[in-house]
Amino acid sequence: MAKNKSEGYLSAKESRQIAKANRKVINDLEKKRKRKKVPESEYLTTMHDDKNAVEFDNLHTYFFTDAGVVKSVDGVTFEVPVGKTVGVVGESGCGKSVTSLSLMQLLQRPQGQIVEGEIRLNLGDKAYDIAKMPYEKLQDLRGNFVSMIFQEPMTALNPVFRIGAQLEEVLELHNKDMSKDDMKKRTIELLEMVGIANSEGVYKMFPHELSGGMRQRVVIAMALACNPKVIIADEPTTALDVTIQAQVLDLLRGLKSKINSSIMFITHDLGVIAEMADYVVVMYAGRVVEKGTTEEIFENPAHPYTIGLMASKPVVGKQVDELYSIPGKVPNPIDMPNYCYFKDRCNMCVGQCDGAYPGEISLSDTHKVSCYRYSGNEKKGV
């Protein structure tokens, strides 16, 4: 940062120096990712627990900008168990979507890069570390083993192609031997599976001819086309009204049990998490501050940020003059403090909060929190 200047100001010289340093790091990472004929042994790994579909372990995903390095995901660790739904919550910019995009390797390249950590994906008979996989191998996994339901269906669907053609493209990519007739039959089955009654008619339509709820159903059908083991739902109900939102949630719940997939559900809506998730991960400023079962997080929130989130949601039948809002603002992701990221907004600080960032403390086998307030109450050291 420039001295004696307002916060966030960079001179042209400083910006050039940052860009030069970033290019060196980016080129090294891209060169490694773009290699051809990489032996499987380089990215073959072992799951810490075979009951998990995905394991994020100390994941660091950074964006190298001309203003500095943005640490969007800064040491994230959590698991997605087989057949379960894990809800990831936190305010905008906390790293929820970047974590999921790291799993899909759909980061905005070359600026966005995984610089450290592991993402272990359980394929059944073996496991891959997604963070070390070359780009050419990832195409076999996307859609086949891991798929994503995007936040805004109108931007996820191509406006100039019919719905049938877009669904068939997914099937054709992963099922080379499938005939045209079989692909059409499977596409219509998928449309019926997600609750579209006029499946034959929708098959021939363009995205703009469908309502928002129908488009969201099509995007869900596309994600389920190859029966993936892991489904990432990135705020799939944000753009929908409450009635359609409830229908989409019921649909996802039913489909999860039907195809026995794991769901990583990203949302701002705590009500949706309470209804959908088995486990909850709370993120703040690129880190996991608390995680546990849904009952533990909602009935006994431990981290001050989680407590603030719970207090800020409206309660039916309770009249208040003004909803609670967490004071202060998120620290600058380019220049993060070396203490707890939430300290400057926290009204529950203790003496230890002046020290380094707190480690993870276990309150139970499943409930973990990063907060000095519980340093003497941990079940076991982490």
Please report, for the domain that includes residue 39, its CATH number: 3.40.50.300
Cα distance between residue 36 and residue 43, in whole Å = 13
Indicate the SS3 state at residue 122. Answer: strand
What are the distances in angstroms from CA 244 to CA 100, 195, 216, 237?
24, 12, 10, 8
Residue 20 lies in a domain: no
Contact 88, 96 (CB under 8 A): yes
Residue 162 lies in a domain: no
- State the pLDDT at residue 6: 55
Residue 378 in this model has a pLDDT that exceeds 70: no
Residue 118 lies in a domain: yes
Mean pLDDT rounded to a whole number for the chain: 89
pTM of the predicted model over 0.75 = yes
Q: Which residues pair with 184 in a beta bridge?
A: none
Contact 235, 267 (CB under 8 A): yes
Cα distance between residue 265 and residue 375, in whole Å = 30
Structural domain that includes position 330 = 29-145+228-374
- State the pLDDT at residue 151: 81
Residue 382 in this model has a pLDDT that exceeds 50: no
- State the pLDDT at residue 44: 95
Q: Are strands 44-45 and 146-149 parallel, antiparallel or unpaired?
A: unpaired
User: Per-residue pLDDT tens for 262-289?
Assistant: 999 999 888 889 989 999 999 999 999 9
Residue 246 in this model has a pLDDT that exceeds 80: yes
Residue 7 lies in a domain: no
- State the pLDDT at residue 253: 86
- State the pLDDT at residue 168: 94
- State the pLDDT at residue 287: 95
Q: Which residue has the higher pLDDT, 2 or 313?
A: 313
Residue 251 in this model has a pLDDT that exceeds 70: yes
Cα distance between residue 86 and residue 283, in whole Å = 13
Residue 10 lies in a domain: no
Residue 379 in this model has a pLDDT that exceeds 70: no
Structurally, the chain folds into a number of domains equal to 1
- State the pLDDT at residue 165: 96
Residue 152 lies in a domain: no
Assigned token pair, 29: 């990472």
The pLDDT-based confidence of 238 (bands split at 50, 70, 90) is confident
User: Per-residue pLDDT tens for 118-158?
Assistant: 999 999 899 999 999 988 888 889 888 999 998 888 888 99
Q: Check residue 285 and give left, alpha or beta (phi > 0: left; psi -120 to 50: alpha).
A: left
Question: Average of pLDDT values for 20-34?
Answer: 91
Residue 174 lies in a domain: no
Residue 171 lies in a domain: no
